[in-house]
Amino acid sequence: MKNDHRPVNINLLKIKLPISALTSITHRLAGMYIFFITYPLSVYLFFLASTNQENFTYLTNMLINSSYLATFVAFSFLVLWYHILTGVRHLIMDMHIGESLQASKVSSIFVLCIWFISVIATAMVIF
């Protein structure tokens, strides 16, 4: 007989997920952002920076004069940095280090603190 009390449609906004689950979910979302946004952006920026002096000068002027573009580029690379940090956390946990619930919570908080410090430092440089 089927279990009629199981949830059919789980609303993730109503469930209180642990912080380690949130970092895992955002790690996956960051990976998608990197693949579709950061990677093509970095290839284009590298192309502009390395083809000739005029393109390099154009790129530097755009990044200096356009705070929107500079913020977008910085945000894209901060997402990459977040993905790297959480990826290292997952790799350490794959080595069976810090797999307990408490250690997982502490490592998630640690990763988020390092990332927020990086965001603040980047914001201070841009603005």
Q: How many residues does the chain have?
A: 127
Please give the CATH number for the structural domain made up of 19-126.
1.20.1300.10
d(CA 74, CA 98): 31
Residue 93, pLDDT score: 96
* The two structure tokens encoding residue 68: 């929107």
Residue 3, pLDDT score: 63
| Domain residue limits, the chain | 19-126
Q: What is the pTM of this model?
A: 0.87
* The two structure tokens encoding residue 127: 């603005």
d(CA 58, CA 71): 17
pLDDT in tens, 5-57: 776 777 777 788 899 999 999 999 999 999 999 999 999 999 999 999 999 99
